[in-house]
Each structure stands twice: as structure tokens, then as C-alpha cells.
Amino acid sequence: MSVVIDIRHLNKKFGDHEVLKDVNFQVKKGEVVTLIGASGSGKSTLLRCINLLEIPTGGEIFFNGQNILEEGYDKRTYRTHLGMVFQHFNLFNNLDVLGNCTIGQIKVLKRSKEEAVKNAMKYLTIVGMEQFKHAKPRQLSGGQKQRVAIARALAMDPEVMLFDEPTSALDPQMVGEVLKVMRQLAEEGNTMLIVTHEMEFAKEVSDRVVFMDKGVIVEEGPPEQVLVNPRHERTREFLRRTLNK
């Protein structure tokens, strides 16, 4: 399997505060990787560095072998290869569901309107939101918004999907519908990088689990290792606190 994202010696500082310290890791094509860790451990920042919503202060990020932090690299085109799903959905409030899923295709990928609508409807059907294509974001529930946000990201036909705590802002009864969609995407062989607090879900869908603490990767490996028989004391401590909640 080819390496899609390759991160080397990544550093990120906010002022004097070092959020990421010498982070090294890779995502291979078709792989589902979950990032776990306590709040403030740097996992969201890592995800946001990958699509350059945060600019790293040091290190290198390679995408299909090309260093994206190099001067002159086309960052906008690069971003179209990554689909981002946010904790707070961030649907475009001025557009309806269909508009949310077509604007990027039309304005950035320069697809025709018919093609964009056709593609958007395909993914809206996958997430089960096709009936709501004329609804405005404010008319939808949290779970529905997040499913539309997933369809919006998928409609750009990205190579990697990034999920930044996609269920953390949802009411408990809506978490299931979003996880169901994500599970389906994982089974279909999409490359996914997921920041999550849903341990059961992580255990179930991940090919690999990465545990982060205080800005460093403490442990990574298959879910049955990291989540069931962790090697490091910090991982054990984290799991104990999380699962006993």
C-alpha cells in the first residue's frame, strides 16, 4: 500500500506553548486511522496541520511524495484532495443542503452544475440526506447537519477524509447515525483519519490507533494492541479514565 500522508518531525507552537513535539507518522492508502487522547493532547491540531488550517512551525508533511510545505506548492489544490469534517459541522448557512455539496465542486473543481448536482446527490444518498436537499442548515438537527457535512466533503472526491471529533457536538441519540455513515465509508475502503473520543467505534473500524499525549505520539498500533493491551503506562492510564466515565 502506498503512503498518502507522511509526516516527519512535525512541530507546532502557539506562542511559547508547544502543542506538537516532533510528531512522525504515516497514513497509507485505504487505511482507517483513529487518533485518540485527552483534550489538549494535540490530536486536533495535528489534523488541522495536515490540511493547513494551522501552519506547522517545523517539520515536513509529504502528500503522495511531495512536500506540501515547500514554497510555491499549490496549497488550494492540495486541500481539494482532503475532505474535512468539523466538530461543529460548519455548513454554509447561506446555502441549502444541495448548495453546500455543490459549491466547491462548481467553483473550485470547475465542474458543470449538472455534474456537481449528480455527484452531490450520489453522496447525499449515501449519508441518507437526499430528501433534504432543499433544507437550510438551520432547519436540520445536529446529526443531519453532520451527515450533510460528510457528503459535502465526499462530493469533492478527496483522497483522504479527515474527521475532527465529528460526534463530540452531538446529542447522544444522534451519535449513532453519524457513526453508521462513517462505518460504511470505512468498509468501502476510503482512507480516513479520525480524531475521536468514541472508543468502541475506534476499536471497531480502525486499522490503526494512535494515542497522543502532551503533543507526542505515545503509542500506535492495531486497535487490539493499543486499546486492549496497551504497552505504555500513559495509554493505560488514559483508557482507565475514559472507560470508567
Partner 1 sequence: MSFLETVWKIFEENWDLFLHGAWIALILAVLGTIFGALIGFFIGIMHTIPLSKKSFKTYLLKLFNFILTCYVELFRGTPMMVQAMVVFYGLYAIEIELNRFIAGLIVISLNTGAYMAEYVRGGIVSIDKGQFEASEAIGMSHFQTMLYIILPQVARNILPATGNQLVMNIKDSSVLSVISVVELFFATNSIAGSTYRYPEAFLIACVLYFIMTFTVTRILLLFEKKMDGSESYRIELVTGNKPAKGGE
Residue ranges in contact with partner 1 by CB under 8 A: 51, 53, 76-77, 79-80, 82, 84, 86, 88-96, 103-104, 107-109, 125, 130-136, 139, 152-153, 156
For the CB of residue 147, give the shortest distance to partner 1 in the complex, in Å. Answer: 15
Instruction: Name the CA dihedral angle for 101, 102, 107, 112, rounded to a multiple of 10 degrees.
Output: 150
Pairing label, strands 58-63, 3-14: antiparallel
Question: Nearer to partner 1 by C-beta: 94 or 173?
Answer: 94
For the CB of residue 78, give the shortest distance to partner 1 in the complex, in Å. Answer: 8
For the CB of residue 52, give the shortest distance to partner 1 in the complex, in Å. Answer: 8
Q: What is the 3-state secondary structure (H, E, C) of 65-109?
A: CEECCCCCCCHHHHHHCEEEECCCCCCCCCCCHHHHHHHHHHHCC
Q: How many CA atoms lie within 13 A of 218 on its CB side?
A: 23
Measured CA distances, 103 to 61, 99, 109, 112 (Å): 28, 6, 9, 11
Question: Nearer to partner 1 by C-beta: 27 or 226?
Answer: 27
Q: Read off the DSSP letter of residue 239.
A: H
Please name which of 15, 58, 16, 23 lies closest in space to residue 41, comparing C-alpha atoms: 23
For the CB of residue 234, give the shortest distance to partner 1 in the complex, in Å. Answer: 31
Question: Nearer to partner 1 by C-beta: 79 or 147?
Answer: 79
For the CB of residue 18, give the shortest distance to partner 1 in the complex, in Å. Answer: 23
Question: Nearer to partner 1 by C-beta: 95 or 239?
Answer: 95
Question: Nearer to partner 1 by C-beta: 17 or 76?
Answer: 76
Q: How far apart are CA 78 and CA 28, in angstroms?
A: 17
